[in-house]
Amino acid sequence: MQHAKKHNEFKMSKILGISFFNDSLDNLFDQLNEKGGLLTVPAAPALVTIVNDTHYYDSLLKSDVVIADSGYMVLIWNTFFSSKVKRVSGLEFINHFIKNSKKVKGDVFTVNPSDIDSNENTKYLNSVGVKALPAHAYTAPYYKGEIVDQVLLDQLERIKPNWILVNIGGGTQEKLGLYLKEKLSYSPAIICTGAALAFKTGRQVKVRNWMDKLYVGWLARCISKPKLYVPRYWKAFKLIGLLFKYKTAQIKLN
């Protein structure tokens, strides 16, 4: 039987000082299922904030696995730089997770932006064969500043789920993921895929698999809620400047 790779044995591509995953999803799933770890999925609008948000950048640097969700970043990198990175979206990872639901070890716990999302995510996961109890769904408070959530921490220590799916907003979920990684007494798989489950449940605009593969999921979101998403994705264009300025190097923050 072939053993899963250690995190540091995965093929990686260094971009902006961040080690982006460049291996197979099967290897990734097996590793997380067996040994846990923090997986983050930074989108372009969040990536442009790393020059100012030390805590967010730190959460990416200290993640066990970072997958290249941003089609915009991947297109720029693979077009203009010699090393290549494999694009793996949060939705693609969730689809793989669901496909392998029978292999999922232990309990699954979800952290959600609202009570409605908690209910819908629990219902959906159970419908696709993932063991998720209503009592294992947590509605996150509004986090501001340094993230501390003793209520969540106590609940997780009591239940000790093997998988924690964090489904809140990008830029915050990664910080929460790092907080949990550093504070929990054990090592679950902490998966920060944000809206990916909401795409499946219909709580956010449906992003079809073909849209995701063509890198136009952002467009569907902009059309659904232009006032919210157009300004957010417009700011993401600054990422090209960061990529050409720093390339593989870690950004030195003040």
* Separation of alpha carbons 155 and 138, rounded Å: 9
Q: What total number of domains does the chain contain? A: 1
A 10 A CB-CB count for 138 gives 18
Q: For residue 49, give every residue at least 6 positions away whose Cβ sits within 8 Å of its Cβ, in sequence order, or none.
A: 56, 171
pLDDT, tens digit, 9 for 90 and up, residues 177-223: 999 999 999 999 999 998 888 888 887 656 566 666 656 555 555 56
CB 71 within 8 A of CB 233: no
pTM: 0.87
* Rg of the chain over all Cα atoms, to the nearest angstrom: 17
Segment 178-183 long-range contacts (CB within 8 Å, at least 24 positions apart) = 178/38, 178/58, 178/59, 178/62, 178/63, 179/147, 179/148, 179/149, 180/38, 180/152, 180/153, 180/156, 181/37, 181/38, 181/62, 183/153
Q: Side chain identity at 117, as an amino acid letter?
A: D
β partners of residue 16 = none
* Separation of alpha carbons 88 and 5, rounded Å: 18
**Res 6 pLDDT > 50:** no
**Would 23 be classed as within a structural domain?**
yes
**Res 79 pLDDT > 80:** yes
**Separation of first and last alpha carbons in the chain:** 48
**Would 197 be classed as within a structural domain?**
yes
**Would 229 be classed as within a structural domain?**
yes
In this prediction, residue 224 carries a pLDDT of 64
In the chain, the percentage of residues whose pLDDT exceeds 70 is: 85
What residue numbers bound the domain in which 155 lies?
7-246
In this prediction, residue 3 carries a pLDDT of 41
**Would 253 be classed as within a structural domain?**
no
**Would 2 be classed as within a structural domain?**
no
**Would 254 be classed as within a structural domain?**
no
Token digits for 142? 């509004």
pLDDT, tens digit, 9 for 90 and up, residues 86-140: 999 888 999 999 999 999 999 999 999 999 999 999 999 999 999 899 999 999 9
Q: In this structure, what DSSP letter does residue 6 have?
A: P
**Would 1 be classed as within a structural domain?**
no
Q: If pLDDT is split at 50, 70 and 90, which confidence band does 38 have?
A: very high
State the Cα angle at 105 between 104 and 106, rounded to 5°.
120
Q: In this structure, what DSSP letter does residue 136 have?
A: G
**Would 252 be classed as within a structural domain?**
no
Q: If pLDDT is split at 50, 70 and 90, which confidence band does 7 have?
A: low
* Separation of alpha carbons 211 and 116, rounded Å: 26
